[in-house]
């Protein structure tokens, strides 16, 4: 496969219900919905190996939904996503953790779901523990963690599992000031390492600094795919 990511005719709808119980009925019969909200409409994107592609757009336009689908956190209504390589996602850093497992055990558990060999985690588990910096909690059940502690473990896994592809959605706001600085520095290293990256941000400066190309999504559709500066001008209403 020549490309790291291929997104083909991707669609995502959210179905609407006037009563909670109708969600259960719909699950089995596909009946009872009062309508549907179209979040993504016929999205087609390719990301070449080693390419960093920025995704821009206002809140509610489908950016985060797109990132979650590519990362495997949620599923499309239609279309297809093809990836060539392992994926690390810096989106919902708490996703996929099992509450009764320790931080250490959750790393092995979630890594197996990501397709990362146990041997790879064995090599980097000490670095993950050091980076997360949560002390003795690393070997305690994750249900005892604060949301910030869970995010630290999730971030450490995504970075140190050495994925081929990174999906990043506004990750620089994670944790306290010291951890944000540390995570920003580590993420910047990943940007400079030649990995394939799909990166969503509201910061024009970050898009300019990191991205080879930009995709502007508006109303669930791609309205621009191309040069970074041109895309930012269109997004900011300057063109």
CB-count exposure of residue 126 (10 Å: 0-12, 13-18, 19+) = exposed
Residue 139 is assigned to a structural domain of this protein: no
Residue 136 is assigned to a structural domain of this protein: no
For residue 2, what is the domain's CATH number? Answer: 3.40.50.300
pTM for the model stands at 0.80
Backbone angles phi, psi at 37, to 5 degrees: -105, 125
Q: Coil, strand, or helix at residue 16?
A: strand
Q: What is the pLDDT of residue 173?
A: 55
Residue 177 is assigned to a structural domain of this protein: no
Tokens at residue 101, please?
């497992």
Can you give 35-71 as a three-state secondary structure string? Answer: EEEEEEEEEEEEEECCCEEEEECCCCCCHHHHHHHHH
Q: What is the pLDDT of residue 213?
A: 96
Tens digits of pLDDT across the chain (239 residues): 689 999 999 999 888 878 787 778 777 887 877 878 889 999 999 999 999 999 999 988 899 899 999 988 889 999 999 999 888 888 777 777 899 999 999 999 988 877 788 898 999 999 999 999 999 999 999 999 988 888 889 888 888 888 889 898 866 555 667 777 887 788 888 888 888 999 998 889 989 988 999 999 999 999 999 999 999 999 998 76
Interior angle at CA 166, CA 44 and CA 144, nearest 5? 125
Residue 98 is assigned to a structural domain of this protein: no
> In DSSP terms, which residues pair with 35 in a beta bridge?
16
Q: What is the pLDDT of residue 89?
A: 82
Domain that holds residue 229: 1-83+201-239
Q: What is the pLDDT of residue 41?
A: 92
Residue 24 is assigned to a structural domain of this protein: yes
Residue 163 is assigned to a structural domain of this protein: no
Residue 210 is assigned to a structural domain of this protein: yes
What 8-state DSSP symbol labels residue 141? B
Q: Coil, strand, or helix at residue 152?
A: helix
Residue 19 is assigned to a structural domain of this protein: yes
Count of structural domains, the chain? 1
Q: What is the pLDDT of residue 178?
A: 79
């Amino acid at each position: 496969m020549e490309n790291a990511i291929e997104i083909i005719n991707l669609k995502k709808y959210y179905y609407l219900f006037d009563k909670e119980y109708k969600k259960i009925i719909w699950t089995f019969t596909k009946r009872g919905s009062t309508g549907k909200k179209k979040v993504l409409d016929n999205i087609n994107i390719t990301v070449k190996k080693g390419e960093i592609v920025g995704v821009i757009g206002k809140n509610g336009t489908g950016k985060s939904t797109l990132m979650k689908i590519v990362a495997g956190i949620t599923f499309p209504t239609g279309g297809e996503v093809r990836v060539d390589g392992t994926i690390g996602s810096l989106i919902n850093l708490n996703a996929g953790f099992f509450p009764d497992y320790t931080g250490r055990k959750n790393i092995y558990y979630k890594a197996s779901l990501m397709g990362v060999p146990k041997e790879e985690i064995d090599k980097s588990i000490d670095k993950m523990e050091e980076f997360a910096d949560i002390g003795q909690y690393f070997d305690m059940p994750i249900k005892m963690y604060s949301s910030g502690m869970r995010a630290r473990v999730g971030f450490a896994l995504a970075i140190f599992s050495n994925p081929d592809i990174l999906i990043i959605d506004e990750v620089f706001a994670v944790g306290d000031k010291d951890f944000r600085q540390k995570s920003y520095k580590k993420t910047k290293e990943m940007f400079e390492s030649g990995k394939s990256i799909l990166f969503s941000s509201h910061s024009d400066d970050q898009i300019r600094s990191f991205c080879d190309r930009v995709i502007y999504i508006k109303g669930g559709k791609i309205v621009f795919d191309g040069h970074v500066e041109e895309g930012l001008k269109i997004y900011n209403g300057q063109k």
